[in-house]
Amino acid sequence: MSLIKCNSLSVKIAETQVCSNLDITINVGENWAILGMNGCGKTTLLHTLAGLHPVQSGSIELNKILLNNISRREIAQQLSLLLQHQEDHFPGTVLESVLIGRHPHLKSWQWESEDDQKLAQKALAQVGLSHFAQRSILTLSGGERQRVAVATLLVQQTKIRLLDEPVNHLDVHHQHEVMKLLTSNNMDIANMFVLHDVNLANRYCDHVLLVYEDGRTEHGSCVDVLNEENLSNLYQHPINEINHAGKHWFIAG
């Protein structure tokens, strides 16, 4: 079942052509990676899919309904977006920050329920921050704040999750813990990650979208698309594939 479908989608920001006539369908249970060089428009494309950046031409469907015909509240009930950078202007607690993920599901002036509180506590446990619940959000390191953002996204409980550099600020251990958390047991959910690490994409995703600097795109299964030739062209640098113990990895040449 498709969750997001792009029909002849063209996206542009300033003088950068992000994509042209992109036809792509993201189905339940799929994990997509978006790869490309800095400045090619990966974040802009993700924001466009979330309805935060206008399309140049073409259309986007969310659950078979044109995105333009859906209210922001309804979009937030179906689609969550993890931003590349987290900004906190008020000294709330970690738990209060995570509970923000429940706001699309609450009525005006409605307080979070006990069930909402339990969801938030569970999400904090999943990212290893249960003991931080009452800490000020302003006291966290970059990596701890990123894990709080992931917990907030989890409690939003959407079927489609768009994540812009979800492993930003994370050490190697937490990079893999977060990626495993997001991609495990998601048969009724779809993820789309903007990533810089090709090997994380290769390990945790089954589909990939390559975004070239000239607006060209290429997409398909990781098995078919991730190879030395495509990655070398994408990053304008030699990329070599190494096979070891039945697995393959990509390194810069």
Q: What's the pLDDT at 48?
A: 97
The model's pLDDT over 78-109, given as tens digits with 9 standing for 90+, comes to: 999 999 888 777 789 999 999 999 999 987 77
In this structure, the chain runs to a length of 253
Which of these, 155, 165, 21, lies nearest to 99 by C-alpha position? 155
Q: What's the pLDDT at 38?
A: 95
Q: What's the pLDDT at 140?
A: 93
**Which amino acid appears at position 74 of this protein?**
E
Q: What's the pLDDT at 87?
A: 79
Range 41-64 burial, b when 16+ CB lie within 10 A, else e: bbbbbbbbbbbebebeebebbbbe
- Beta partners for residue 209, in sequence order: 34, 219
Residue numbers in the chain where pLDDT is lower than 70: none
Q: What's the pLDDT at 246?
A: 76
Write the burial class of residue 179 (CB in 10 Å: 0-12 exposed, 13-18 middle, 19+ buried). buried
- Beta partners for residue 251, in sequence order: 240
Q: What's the pLDDT at 224?
A: 96
CA separation, residue 207 to residues 144, 218, 236 (Å): 28, 11, 21
What structural domains does the chain harbor? 2-90+157-252 (3.40.50.300)
What's this model's pTM, rounded to 2 decimal places? 0.95
Q: What's the pLDDT at 88?
A: 75
Q: What's the pLDDT at 41?
A: 95
Q: What's the pLDDT at 169?
A: 93
- Beta partners for residue 193, in sequence order: 33, 163
DSSP H/E element including 224: helix 222-225
